[in-house]
Amino acid sequence: MNESIISSRLATSRLNHLHIRDPCCYHCEDVIETALHTLRDDCPLAWQAPSVSWIRLNTDGAAKVGAIAGCGGVLRGNNVEWIFGFSKNIGICSAYVAELWGVLECLKLARLRGVTKIELHVDSHVVVKTLQSRSVGSPDARILVQSIMKMLALNWEVVIEHTIAKLILGRCVSKFGL
């Protein structure tokens, strides 16, 4: 599918489903937001490479009441190279639990690949605060949080950061089956 069709579908989805009436990028307010605009460096929302010798891991989870939830993630190196990506159906759960599943699955995959320095970017502020404070989380997610904490305690460096939900592009792409 070519860029103009993808961009058109993204703009339409953004306007119709996200209840946003302005087609311009809501971060830089400069140009009409397209798939390429959000991936390039001319928007403040553009993906930023990690420090040298570090890997950047972006995770996301999504859930809708009464519907099947999913999670996914992307691991890229400091030269912007793609290392791996994944998506996973996780059944019916809350958005919070879906976000935690995304973190856990990405950490497991990174560990299997021998990664030792990770910048973990999560778009859920609640998940980031839970993991940074080392709290046990809510009762419905306690086992997941404990599993993540065990992963974080292994012999590697993991920095956890909150990031603006840039994976909206991935959600739109997966929704349209592109």
- Domains in the chain: boundaries: 1-46, 48-164
Instruction: Report pLDDT digits (tens) over 51-102.
Output: 899 999 999 898 988 889 999 999 999 888 888 889 999 999 999 999 999 9
What band does 175 get if pLDDT is binned at 50, 70 and 90? very low
Give the alpha-carbon dihedral of 15, 19, 20, 21, to 10 degrees. 70
CB atoms within 10 A of CB 17: 11
Q: How far is CA 88 from CA 59, 72, 97, 115, 149, in A?
A: 12, 6, 13, 21, 21
171 pLDDT above the threshold of 80: no
- Give the per-residue pLDDT at 27: 53
DSSP 8-state secondary structure symbol assigned to residue 16: H
Enter the DSSP assignment of 31.
S
What is the per-residue pLDDT across 119-157, written as a single tens digit (0 to 9) for each?
999 989 999 999 998 777 778 899 999 999 999 999 999
* Pairing relationship of beta strands 55-62 and 69-77 according to DSSP bridges: antiparallel
CATH, domain range 48-164: 3.30.420.10
Structure tokens at 66: 């009464």
pLDDT band at residue 34 using 50, 70 and 90 as cut-offs: low
pLDDT of residue 13: 44
Q: Could you give the CA distance from residue 152 to residue 53 in angstroms, rounded to a whole number?
A: 18
Are residues 148 and 131 in contact, defined by beta-carbon separation less than 8 angstroms? yes
Neighbours of 40 (CB within 10 A): 12
Nearest CA to 57 among 72, 70, 73? Answer: 73
Contacts from 28-36 at CB under 8 Å and sequence distance 24+? 32/7, 34/3, 34/6, 34/7, 34/10, 35/3, 35/6, 35/7, 35/10, 35/169, 35/173, 36/3, 36/7
CA 148, CA 62: separation in Å to the nearest integer?
Answer: 18
